[in-house]
Amino acid sequence: MGKGQETRERLMDIAEASVLTKGFGATSIDEIIAEAEITKSGFFYHFRDKNQLALALLQRYVDREDELLDDLFARARELHDDPLHAFLIGLKLFAEMMADLPKGHPGCLVATCCYNERLFDSDVRELNKHALLKWRRRFLAELEKIAAIYPPKDDVDLEAVADMVTGIVEGGIVLSRALEAPQELSKQILLFRSYLKLLFMPAYN
């Protein structure tokens, strides 16, 4: 990694931390460059404006989350051949990971974008949308494999169930932060897991 890329990453690290704790609007460029010990010129050399910074942050964020989920559910499939049980194991691993974050999940850039709409241009919103659609496809594929084996016990739209994973996580983060209860997110993920058990597991009564 060249020197430029290094500085760019450092700026993004500082910005991300600030955005996730204070929100995008409350994160000032002056503050970022002070912490990075760089001048304003240096910052604008790397990012045309704050929107470009947001775009870069979001891109990096969704790539990382994607990789994390890939690893996690791949590991779950290693632990169990059955798609339902693998998914349930994956959710358990996910919940445990969220529970282990000592200060709770720092927040989600996807939702941050959502609640700061006009601060971001159409590029950012498009990227955000595509990230959510990717997660929908990811979970839908798993759910279809499950439903093929275990007929669901309620008439549900599997696409909506796939979206529910994202929704539960986003909602759980809001709850955790607003209630100052770090374990809340993990609990919500486990409740979703409970739903899948009741929905798909045959001998569950």
Partner DNA sequence: GCCGGTACAGTACCGTCAGTACAGTTTCTG
Partner DNA sequence: CAGAAACTGTACTGACGGTACTGTACCGGC
Verify binding: residue 4, DNA, rule CB under 7 A. Answer: yes
Specify the residue, 90 or 166, whose C-beta has the smaller distance to a second copy: 166
Long-range contacts, stretch 33-40, CB < 8 angstroms, 24+ apart: 36/7, 36/10, 36/11, 38/7, 38/11
Considering only residues 17, 140, 147, 175, which one is a binding residue for a second copy as defined by CB under 8 A? 175
Verify binding: residue 170, a second copy, rule CB under 8 A. Answer: yes
- Three-state secondary-structure class, residue 168: helix
Nearest CA among 178, 72, 63, 69 for reference residue 110: 63
Considering only residues 13, 17, 23, 31, which one is a binding residue for DNA as defined by CB under 7 A? 31
x/- contact string, 104-143, with a second copy (CB under 8 A)?
---x--xxxxxxxxxx-----x--xx--xx----------
Verify binding: residue 180, a second copy, rule CB under 8 A. Answer: yes
Verify binding: residue 27, DNA, rule CB under 7 A. Answer: yes
Measured between alpha carbons, how far is 68 from 135 in angstroms, rounded to an integer?
12
Specify the residue, 12 or 128, whose C-beta has the smaller distance to a second copy: 128
Specify the residue, 68 or 133, whose C-beta has the smaller distance to a second copy: 133
Decide: residue 71, CB within 10 A, 0-12 exposed, 13-18 middle, 19+ buried: exposed
